[in-house]
Copies of this chain bind each other. A is one copy, B any other.
Amino acid sequence: MDSESLLIKALKGEKVSRPPVWMMRQAGRYLPDFIALREKYDFFTRVQTPELACEITLQPVDQLGVDAAILFSDILVVPQAMGLEVQMLENKGPFLPFTVSTRQEIEFLRIDGAVEQLEYVSKAISLVKQELNGRVPLIGFAGAPFTILCYMVEGKSSKTFDKAKQFCFSRPELAHELLSKITEVTITYLEEQVKAGVDAVQLFDSWSGLLGPEEFKQFALPYLVRISDRLSKKVPVILFPKGSWYALRELSQTSASAIGIDWCIKPQLARELTQNVKTLQGNMDPCKLLLPIPQIQKEVKDMIDAFGVQQYIVNLGHGILPNIPVENAKAFVDAVKNYTSSSL
């Protein structure tokens, strides 16, 4: 299980011969086989049918040779399990017809029995583990509580999530109640994923970068910490608070094994702010996968040179885009595998 050891070793800070590589949204819309399944089954059918989720999860492992699988699912299964309707409008993103803004609505959200709604996730994980048969490790994931609150309050995606932020700023007590409930469910949900077999978990705080440094400390960080403290006793935890570069010092003091970063911070500065105590994951701009392959290879080499081989997981700074040619995605992965340090 050479590849597994690569990811898990990198997460544990153990010495590796080259960094592992995977891509956020690697099981996604740039793969023709994924598109073929999308044409046959709607979004939640794919998510909730273990055989389909398993098939989709394995596609990038088989076709690109990434060093880790990440379960095909969605962060919004948690609000769904807590009792909110979530629709996925093709090309428009998620839509929650009933949003949360009052104490009563928060009280209505289910904790007991919520994770039981997500048994299909555990079944998919078991299937994937069986099919992987030790080839590469499997990453489980959930949305971070602040990001889930964003969707619950705003009801849809947004450039700025003003409604959600205004809710937090003007009703902080209610916001903390909601965040606590989401946190509780998320911990149980991730523990179930671990029981089913995932080897590591990642928390996606996709919208935390919309908060300033003080507000991040108030509404995002404590919940990342709470989840990480519980889960890191079982498997390595990766935190990805996108855009929250300003919190790298605080994040490096958490129990998480790794921190994901986007392309707006230079590797050297990220290393400085995390004082080399954490594994870093990232951070190529997904748009760069559209470059000619020799340039992708150069970008990858420069990136590994800058981060260093140790305590590093090669990834994009955000999800892979739908219009990336498969051969470019493969060139990205291969460039990592073929990496030779110029200093060796």
Seen from chain A, the residues whose Cβ lies within 8 Å of a Cβ on chain B are: 157, 159-160, 162, 165-166, 169-170, 209, 211-213, 215, 243, 246, 263-266, 269, 285-288, 290-292, 318, 321, 323
User: Shortest beta-carbon distance, A51 to chain B, in Å?
Assistant: 32
Given contacts A243-B264, A246-B265, A246-B266, contact A287 B159 (CB under 8 A): no
- Ordered nearest first, which 7 A-B pairs have the shortest CB separation? A212-B263, A165-B287, A166-B290, A166-B287, A159-B159, A170-B290, A213-B266
A157-B159, A170-B290 are known; give 6 further A-B pairs, CB within 8 A.
Answer: A162-B286, A165-B287, A166-B323, A213-B265, A246-B265, A246-B269
Q: Are A162 and B212 in contact (CB under 8 A)?
A: no
- Please, which residue of chain B has its CB at the minimum distance from the CB of A161? B287
Chain B residues within an 8 Å CB radius of A266: 213, 246
- Please, which residue of chain B has its CB at the minimum distance from the CB of A322? B162
User: Shortest beta-carbon distance, A280 to chain B, in Å?
Assistant: 15
Q: Choose among A211, A264, A269, A321 the residue with the greatest number of B CB atoms under 10 Å from its CB.
A: A264
Given contacts A159-B159, A162-B321, A246-B265, contact A215 B169 (CB under 8 A): no
Each complex incorporates copies of this chain amounting to: 2
In the bound complex, CA of A146 to CA of B169 (Å): 32
Q: Choose among A215, A265, A287, A288 the residue with the greatest number of B CB atoms under 10 Å from its CB.
A: A287
User: Shortest beta-carbon distance, A163 to chain B, in Å?
Assistant: 9
Q: Are B159 and A264 in contact (CB under 8 A)?
A: no
Chain B residues within an 8 Å CB radius of A243: 264
In the bound complex, CA of A159 to CA of B160 (Å): 9
In the bound complex, CA of A290 to CA of B163 (Å): 10
Q: Which one of B169, B246, B323 contacts A287 once the chains associate, using CB atoms below 8 Å?
A: B169
Given contacts A213-B264, A264-B209, contact A287 B321 (CB under 8 A): no
